[in-house]
């Protein structure tokens, strides 16, 4: 409820701006696959990760692991940061 009460409308600008470059093409990336996601199927997540050449991490989590498992998400971020340091 606390998180829901803080939601805002999605800005339109990210969908209309012209992209000049994308970071995943020349920087290492990590894709967090959420295995219990009922919004975005795992197979689609895996395809996006592969397309970007991302390392992957997996959590038995729903679509919003930053809400349901913030410590696990922080661990994934820390490991990803250490791998490029």
> Where in the chain are the domains?
28-85
Stated pTM of the model = 0.82
- Would you place residue 84 in the very low, low, confident or very high pLDDT band (cuts 50, 70, 90)? confident
Q: Report which DSSP code applies to 11.
A: P
pLDDT tens track for 20-32: 998 889 999 999 9
**Which pLDDT belongs to residue 36?**
97
Which residues are CB-neighbours of 69 under 8 A, at least 6 positions away? Answer: 59, 61
End-to-end Cα distance, the chain: 37
**Which pLDDT belongs to residue 24?**
87
Which residues are CB-neighbours of 64 under 8 A, at least 6 positions away? Answer: 3
């Amino acid at each position: 409820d606390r998180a829901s009460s803080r939601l805002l409308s999605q800005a339109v600008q990210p969908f209309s701006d012209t992209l000049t470059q994308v970071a995943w093409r020349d920087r290492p990336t990590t894709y967090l696959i959420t295995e219990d996601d009922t919004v975005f199927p795992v197979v689609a997540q895996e395809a996006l990760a592969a397309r970007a050449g991302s390392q992957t991490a997996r959590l038995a989590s729903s679509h919003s692991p930053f809400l349901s498992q913030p410590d696990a998400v922080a661990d994934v971020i820390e490991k990803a940061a250490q791998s490029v340091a």
